[in-house]
Structure 1
Amino acid sequence: EKEKFLPFAPDFAIELMSPSDSLKTTQAKMKEYIENGTVLGWLINRQTRQVEIYRPGAEVEVLDNPATVSGDPLLPGFILQLE
């Protein structure tokens, strides 16, 4: 039986890819989070040193090798250090 999301979603989700994760599968998971009500999602790919930022009604924003990622405006003042 395939696992499904519960009928609610967090406001903020982070996916940190491991070397065995499929990029396409993880991107689909992030899109599903957004479709189910998540307001902000970060997909962190350590291998490519990219962060994909997901928001409802917006194109995915891709950051190449960022030193930090800001949670504003959903999480004012929250900054994730990546270096």
Structure 2
Amino acid sequence: MIAWKEGYFMFDESLESAMQKISLWYDVSVEYQDEAIKTIPVLATITRDSNISKVLRILEMTKKVKFKLDGRSIKVVRFK
């Protein structure tokens, strides 16, 4: 299956790489609390027709990061 042709994000990569795809798809900028967060592995398949809040909630299920959405900007912070 070619995920993007079928309407899915298919992540099996670093958080930074996944967030680059999300950034392009939803036209948002991404900031990281620290550089180490960027290397957290992400494994997920999410439909591209989901709104950005739903996508971020799904990624938060890792219990490793949280997202703060402010307009067209996302801040990625460590889960506490």
TM-score, length-normalised on structure 1?
Answer: 0.35
Rg larger in 1 or in 2?
A: 1
Structure with the bigger RCO (C-alpha within 8 Å, sep 6+) is 2
TM-score, length-normalised on structure 2?
Answer: 0.35
